[in-house]
Chains A and B, each alone.
Chain A
Amino acid sequence: MSEAESTPVEEPASEETESPEATPEVEQSTPIVSGLALEHGEGRYRLTLPPDLDWIDLWPQLQLYLVGQEHLWSETLPVDCACGQRLLDQSQLQQLAEALSEHQLRLDKIITERRQTAIAAATLGYSVQQGVLPPLLAKETDPDPEPTTNPLYLKTTLRSGMEIHHDASVIIVGDVNAGASIIAAGDIIVWGRLRGIAHAGAKGHLGARIMTLEMAATQLRIADLLARTPDPPNPPYPEVAYATDQGIQIAPAYTWGRALAVSKAP
């Protein structure tokens, strides 16, 4: 670690700072849309499916989402699935139930605004609630919703083509490979190697940080700042990227607390 200690506290991150428009286009991707949510309330879970995604595209995302969450409960819990306007046939409902059961979740109730979905669900023996229903959490009916403050915790490798959008902080336990990207309104923490694109504070929050065990990102963004990372230290050590007046800076994790204190000093 002596090698690491000799590294300056602040290291200019950007070899060149470009405008966001000049960045390479992200290839066709598999985004995790914010509309997908699994929320806890009164001894059960509610799974909300985003309305605007084809099943074929939704399916891999749901899997990814569930895989990342599987450690969060130990006993089997019932799940209400809020499908909204989405049409689901019997085989899709079965797939859904199967996927949930792999994660100790039991599909119990289908909440739908579509008659056909309700019939399919009833045929399979699920309880059905038709129409728009009282939300589990008050914010769901908020006409001008505050971004959710729940961080997204995923225990998985984000592979090329996967894209995560989340209205709060994102924590990945695993690697983020080149070609993957994370766009978070809050912080981004990668307990693994960060090789893809990370955009923290995506809604303009300059105080957002990107923290990772190995900072080898293709591109870092905080709010509207942009940087390309220099080659990661070898051997790698944890680093933190944060915004300053001079743009994005990267500091070793263990000195970053001090760096922050200094930069905040009057």
Chain B
Amino acid sequence: MGRTIVITSGKGGVGKTTASANIGVALAKLGRSVVLIDADFGLRNLDLLLGLENRVVYTAIDVLTGQCRLDQALVRDKRLNKLVLLPAAQSRNKDAITPEQMRQLASALSKHYDYVLIDCPAGIEAGFRNAIAPAQEALVVTTPEIAAVRDADRVIGLLEAYRIRNNHLILNRLRPAMVAANDMMSVEDVQEILSIPLIGIVPEDEKVIVSTNKGEPLVLAESPSLAGQAFMNIARRLEGEKVEFLDLEAVSGGLFSRIRRLFGAKG
């Protein structure tokens, strides 16, 4: 039985889909079999980020309505044979699927894959409840902003209420220079409020946008950028490896001078 993990956040646009795609690909690179479920019905874009849009034929809804078999709907990644995507329907509304159906899909898939990763839609309504229904663990994504952290806190409370208690935090879009200038919440500030274990700190990185547009996840690059390395490290931590946080991710006092150098290099 594979692990079923939902990537969720509450607030929209904080990087759930980016994290899902990159962590999925990173795990596949580590030799694990991975299925990514796009649970953002009506607004799918995981296929875009993975560069698989033109290969989508069937969606999860087609499986549930019996239009096709589950394995027919899975889109294989040409670059990594260990990774497949179960796309979401773009046209159907979010009510077209129930938590029970999500559970069925995920449990069928977890028999054949090491990881079932579910990209959750924003919000805490029906789409959220569908996405978390099959999960045993969650990766909660937030950015270092009050509103995002507040929503993450809310989501952690709901996850716990639905008895998903193995939860880890991904802090995305951190800008160390801003933290140093006291213009942004620090890693400690966020952790102190959310009090769940941290599994990754991903810096703000313009390569994310480039990779999104190219449909080529950061972690696929020959020499991944800082954000790419951060996602790779998250995958390794999921695998149980003890991986030091990147320099940028260090929480220690000596952090900021080193970070300034890093950023200073860019001008």
Closest to B100 in A: A91
Instruction: Assess the B129–A161 pair: CB atoms within 8 A.
Output: no
Per the bound structure, the CA–CA distance linking A158 and B158 in Å amounts to 11
Chain A residues with CB under 8 A of B151: 160
Q: Are B161 and A179 in contact (CB under 8 A)?
A: no
Do the beta carbons of A157 and B154 come within 8 Å of each other? no
Residues of B at the A interface (CB closer than 8 Å) are 100, 129, 150-151, 153-154, 156-158, 160-163, 193, 195
Q: Which 9 A-B pairs have the closest CB atoms?
A: A60-B161, A159-B157, A160-B153, A161-B154, A63-B161, A160-B154, A159-B153, A160-B150, A179-B150
Count how many pairs of residues, one from A and one from B, have CB atoms less than 8 Å apart in the complex: 48
Q: How far is the CA of A67 from the CA of B163 in the complex (A)?
A: 10
**In this assembly, does A167 line the interface, its C-beta being within 8 Å of a C-beta of chain B?**
no
- Partner of A178 from B100, B150, B157 at Cβ < 8 Å: B150
Q: Which residue of B129, B150, B157, B162 contacts A162 across the interface (Cβ within 8 Å)?
A: B157
Which residues of chain A come closer than 8 Å to B158, judged between CB atoms? 30, 60, 161
Given contacts A157-B195, A177-B193, contact A67 B160 (CB under 8 A): yes
Give A209-266 interface residues, CB cut-off 8 Å to B. Answer: none
Enumerate chain A residues within 8 angstroms of B129, measured Cβ to Cβ.
Answer: 56
- Closest partner residue, chain A, to B151 (CB atom): A160
Determine the residue in chain A with the shortest Cβ distance to B152. A160
Apart from A30-B157, A160-B153: 19 A-B pairs, beta carbons within 8 A: A30-B158, A56-B129, A59-B161, A59-B162, A60-B157, A61-B161, A99-B163, A157-B157, A158-B157, A159-B154, A159-B157, A159-B160, A160-B154, A161-B153, A177-B193, A178-B153, A178-B193, A179-B150, A179-B153
CB distance from A49 to the nearest CB of B (A): 16
A187 on the B face (CB < 8 A) = no
A interface residue numbers (CB < 8 A to B): 30, 56, 59-61, 63-64, 67, 91, 99, 102, 157-162, 175, 177-179
Distance, CA A64 to CA B195, complexed state (A): 17
A64 to B129, CA, bound (A): 17
Residue of B nearest to A62 (CB): B161
Which residues on A sit within 8 Å (CB–CB) of B161? 30, 59-61, 63-64
Q: Is the CB–CB distance between A63 and B150 below 8 Å? A: no
- When A157-B195, A175-B195 are in contact, do A60 and B153 touch as well, CB less than 8 Å? no
Q: Give Cα distance in the complex from A177 to B161, angstroms.
A: 16
List residues of chain B with CB within 8 A of the CB of A102: 163
The answer to whether B153 and A63 touch across the interface, beta carbons within 8 angstroms, is no
Minimum distance in angstroms from A99 CB to a CB of chain B? 8
C-alpha spacing A64/B160, complex, angstroms: 8
Q: A67 contacts which chain B residues (CB < 8 A)?
A: 160
Q: Which residues of B contact A162 (CB under 8 A)?
A: 157
Write the chain A residue with the least CB distance to B165: A67
Given contacts A56-B129, A178-B150, A179-B150, whether A160 and B157 have CB atoms under 8 Å apart is yes
Chain A residues whose C-beta falls within 8 Å of the C-beta of B100 in the assembled complex: 91
Q: Which residues of chain B are within 8 angstroms of A56 by Cβ–Cβ distance?
A: 129
Q: Which residue of chain B lies nearest to A178 when distances are taken between CB atoms in the complex?
A: B150
- Cβ-defined contact, A177 with B153, below 8 A: yes
B153 (CB) vs chain A CBs: closest residue = A160
Q: Is the CB of A161 within 8 A of B157?
A: yes
B162 in contact with A179 (CB, 8 Å)? no
| B15 to A: closest C-beta gap in Å | 20
Q: Which residues of A contact B153 (CB under 8 A)?
A: 159-161, 177-179
Closest to A177 in B: B153
A30 contacts which chain B residues (CB < 8 A)?
157-158, 161
